[in-house]
Structure 1
């Protein structure tokens, strides 16, 4: 199959590219900045979202579109300018994909659009599934709500659309885990804030397998929570991390310190939500890493 990945330069995009290439699929990555030519790369890179780019012709006969494009939410303090870029980068990329889809003679079979469990807002007591009516009102929730409302318009163009609501994706060399592990590796790990905030997580391998799963299952559409079936509290996460790394879990970081350091972005660590992958489980998806200890032991090769 011909797989088109927008935002394929991130760690999820790179893992997806490798997965599809190993399966024998054709992989095309849409990117703002073309990488240096490499004779060893089997990936075709196509420039988009620049004034002189014309990606349409390269996307004819695409079977699958995967949209991971958007500015990272955790690479800098959230001032108003940055929040505007975070939202607008997602809307611009999704609008461009919709424009391209409209002009394609042969439409792709499915659009897999990355999203986030931030849609539900935060809670220490509520459990969220795809059927939950609760929608958050904070910045992340509003961003996801606008992003999904745009992406789902691909359905009007005859393209099945899956909204992948990702939680914290665990990988050993990218994403949140290396940053969470560093204090423990320095013997300074401990509880963040109150510690009872929920961490809904998923192993990178299960993200890739679940994306492949929803592509193959034509009866899956709309929001799908990409999350392990066993979320934990932040304190439980830290204790499990300390056990795997053979380091103490002892120096707490108070809420006020994180708020002073990170500002509004501190909500990523101090607030959370307990989310379950109801849609995936109902369609009999089997997680390779359903428990945190198994996931961490794999990622740290212990």
Structure 2
């Protein structure tokens, strides 16, 4: 297959690149730098996009867009929030402009999204059929970039919006920072501990994206989360158990709000999200249970 990745230098992008190259697929990474070759992987300049890049992007099997400022980057000041929104909107518009110019369009366009589109709740359960969305900063941001991503359908391209949960990986994502206090015997509840965490192992994220590419019947939003979301307290206890460290030193909500500002909502609040569409299409998770996932990662 021929696979294009925008945002290929990040945590998930690197794992996808390694997976697809191991499968002997052709991987093209869109880069802000001049076009160059790194091993067998082509890095192609975009924004602006020269004709030479467009020629290389013809007849792709999949176009994956992971580009944009990370939600975890910096405090959510007004300027940082604007940067997050505009980076996602701008890159998605640029990708759509590229697709529009291609004579032979990609078979599927996969755009990164997030479970933050769903409202915070301790009781509700959300899947892809849910139509009630959050009206906070995160919810509004996700809705904006999903709305744009769906426009790929206007070019006759199957469009998928992968709503990622909390991605757990050994060398990236949320897990290293979550595990750090436990390594110093200072781990415990973050806030109340009853907030939901819709988590997913990085290997299952890669596997799910590959699955979506191959199943041409899948389109629209797809929740990429474990089928077994857990409470924050259970996640912390399991981290402690796997690392053989105590779970006893809580971090109060007010302290996290001071330290993180508005971004503290990402650890103090959560949603219970299920990957219904993936399961209905026959997807099987390698790590459906949190303890198995953490044992593997640690």
What TM-score does the superposition give when structure 1 sets the normalisation length?
A: 0.96
Whole-Å separation in 1 of the counterparts to 2:133 and 2:190: 25
For residue 85 of structure 1, what is the aligned residue in structure 2? 83
CA drift at 1:266: 0.3
The match for 1:97 among 95, 98, 105 is 95
Aligned runs of 1:76-225 on 2, under 5 Å?
76-225=74-223
The match for 1:267 among 265, 268, 272 is 265
SS, match of residue 108 in structure 1:
coil
Task: After superposition, give the CA deviation of every residue in 1:217-260 in whole Å (9 maximum; x if it has no partner).
Answer: 00000000000000000000000000000000000000000000
Whole-Å separation in 2 of the counterparts to 1:35 and 1:161: 27
For residue 28 of structure 2, what is the aligned residue in structure 1? 28
Whole-Å separation in 2 of the counterparts to 1:79 and 1:63: 39
Whole-Å separation in 2 of the counterparts to 1:114 and 1:70: 10
CA drift at 1:42: 1.3
Moved over 4 A (4+): 34-38, 50-54
The match for 2:292 among 291, 294, 297 is 294
Task: After superposition, give the CA deviation of every residue in 1:86-145 in whole Å (9 maximum; x if it has no partner).
Answer: 111111111011111111110110001110000112111100000012100111100000
Assess if the C-alpha contact under 8 Å between 1:48 and 1:54 holds in 2. no
Root-mean-square deviation (CA, aligned residues, Å) is 1.4
CA drift at 1:36: 8.0
Whole-Å separation in 2 of the counterparts to 1:44 and 1:51: 15
What TM-score does the superposition give when structure 2 sets the normalisation length?
A: 0.97
Aligned residues: 298
Assess if the C-alpha contact under 8 Å between 2:35 and 2:42 holds in 1. no
Mean CA deviation greater in 59-68 or 150-159: 59-68
SS, match of residue 55 in structure 1:
helix
Call closer, same or farther: CA 1:153–1:51 in 2, change over 3 Å. Answer: closer
For residue 19 of structure 1, what is the aligned residue in structure 2? 19
CA drift at 1:62: 1.6
CA drift at 1:33: 3.3
Mean CA deviation greater in 50-59 or 132-141: 50-59
SS, match of residue 173 in structure 2:
coil
CA drift at 1:57: 2.2
For residue 233 of structure 1, what is the aligned residue in structure 2? 231
Call closer, same or farther: CA 1:53–1:194 in 2, change over 3 Å. Answer: farther
Aligned runs of 1:1-16 on 2, under 5 Å?
1-16=1-16
For residue 67 of structure 1, what is the aligned residue in structure 2? 65
Whole-Å separation in 2 of the counterparts to 1:55 and 1:269: 40
Assess if the C-alpha contact under 8 Å between 1:47 and 1:53 holds in 2. no
Whole-Å separation in 1 of the counterparts to 2:50 and 2:23: 33
Assess if the C-alpha contact under 8 Å between 2:36 and 2:44 holds in 1. no
Whole-Å separation in 2 of the counterparts to 1:7 and 1:127: 31
